[in-house]
Amino acid sequence: MRSNGCGCDEFRWRRMLSRRAMAGGGAGLAAGMALGPLGRFGALAQDASPAASPAASGRTLLDNAGPVGASYLSPLVEIYGDVEIGERSFVASNTILYAGDGRLVSLGNENNLQDNAYLLSDEADLVFADMVSIAHQAVIENSTVGAFTFFGFRSRTRNCVVGEGSMIMHNTVVENVTIPANRITPVGARITTQEQADALPEIVEANEEFKHEVQGVNLEFASGYIALFAELGRAGVEAVGVNPVTSWQPEPIMPTIGEGSVLAELVRIVGDVQLGEDSTVGQRSAIRADEGTPIIIGRRARIQSRVTFHALKGTSVMVGENAQIGDGNVLHGPLVVGDNFETEDDCVVFQATVEDNVTVRSGATVAGAFSLREGTIVPEGAVVTSQEEADALPVR
């Protein structure tokens, strides 16, 4: 696994960042950093402010998070070094934007970054064209990214040129290659040679429609969260709060947190979320019912750090009782999960129907409209995208 200059693997490094262990380490932290607790859950993030100065490219150089022109950055975003942003972009909570000394992270117009994404430039500038979508927990380093591209859940892109219109799918690793325009990677693939990159299939019309849908949703998020910030202030867009008003959710809904539940620092829970009694949610996790809704999680859930629950528009997430969710997971609707569900660290579970007593081991990907039978064990690092593959898995 690639080192990030601190002698540790990337996951430990990310957690070190979130604990501010890099403060004062020559990372070029953005001015205006607030290090004291704010509100019930605390916030180790920048004071929200629209103040910024124009960057040479015509994009806005960020001093801190919050509304910036027609773009919105959650106050829980972490900004290090020189980072700039275009217009009508949306950046969700607990994303890290990190530019090393002499480097730049540059976001274009109508970019969207979902919760717990990581954009890093330490060896080369990281530059995005317009209309780029970056899904939950994606990591992109030292790369140049073309317009109208998409990066899936927990994808990893390092030292690449990504051509216009291409899609890097969930849990895919892409390193040291040029991805030609309008290509799509398989879910869970590892693309490390130019021969592999050149052989990728072209995207189809359904891929284009999906990307346009993602763009439309996040354009509404940018304006909707700016309006929510204007109405309620910073407190209204941190911690537990209502969803923004959008064309698909015209009414703000407050989450319901079950009695005896405990939320760690920097947790973000939005909209029609129903969290069962006696549950725990770890640091920097997000449960967002601002697109798909509702998100219902049963009693006695144990959700670790930097976990994301979200859903596509018109879908929902339903999780039974006694769920055990490891660090760095993405659980994305449409999704139905039974009781006693367990995922280890760094998994993706999307679109499936999961019966009771299922275990998903570390680094596995479950993505597709199929069912996991009761008692199924998904092995470490497995990629499951069809009913045939699901039926071949071991059952306890």
Given a cut of 90, is residue 375 above it in pLDDT? Answer: yes
Is pLDDT of 229 > 50?
yes
At 212, which helix (H) or strand (E)? helix 205-232
Domain ranges in the chain? 10-208, 239-391
Paired sense of beta strands 78-80 and 104-106, if any: unpaired
One DSSP character per residue, 82-107 reads EEEE-SS-EE-TT-EEEE-TT-EEE-
At a CB cut-off of 8 Å and minimum separation 6, what does 140 contact? 117, 118, 119, 120, 126, 134, 151, 157, 158
**How much is the average pLDDT of 15-34?**
30
pLDDT in tens, 317-354: 999 999 999 999 999 999 999 999 999 999 999 999 99
Length of the chain: 396
Task: Please state which of the four CATH numbers 2.40.30.20, 2.40.260.10, 2.160.10.10, 2.30.38.10 is assigned to the domain occupying 10-208.
Answer: 2.160.10.10
The fourth-level CATH superfamily of domain 239-391 is Hexapeptide repeat proteins (2.160.10.10)
Q: Return the amino acid letter for 121.
A: S
Output the pLDDT for position 18.
Answer: 39
Largest CA distance in the chain: 59
pLDDT in tens, 87-125: 999 999 999 999 999 999 999 999 999 999 999 999 999
The predicted structure's pLDDT at residue 121: 96
Q: 365, 383 in Cβ contact below 8 A?
A: yes
Q: What is the pLDDT of residue 61?
A: 86
Residue 17 clears pLDDT 60, i.e. is over it:
no
SS (H, E, C) 128-154: ECCCCEECCCCEEECCEECCCCEECCC
Q: Environment class of residue 39 by beta-carbon count within 10 Å: exposed (0-12), middle (13-18) or buried (19+)?
A: exposed
- Encode pLDDT of 284-319 as tens digits: 999 999 999 999 999 999 999 999 999 999 999 999
Query: What pLDDT does residue 288 have?
Result: 97
Domains 10-208 and 239-391 in one fold: yes
Q: How far is CA 215 from CA 46, 63, 101, 291, 318, in A?
A: 26, 26, 32, 13, 25
Model pLDDT for residues 199-228, shown as the tens digit of each residue: 999 999 999 999 999 999 999 999 999 999
Burial track 189-201 (b if 16+ CB lie within 10 A, e otherwise): bebeeeeebeebe
Reported as a pLDDT band with limits 50, 70 and 90, residue 63 is confident
Whether residue 72 contacts residue 64, with contact meaning beta carbons closer than 8 Å, is answered with: no
> Which tens digit of pLDDT belongs to each residue from 133-171?
999 999 999 999 999 999 999 999 999 999 999 999 999
Distance CA 360, CA 375 (A): 10
Model confidence band, residue 57 (pLDDT cutoffs 50, 70, 90): low
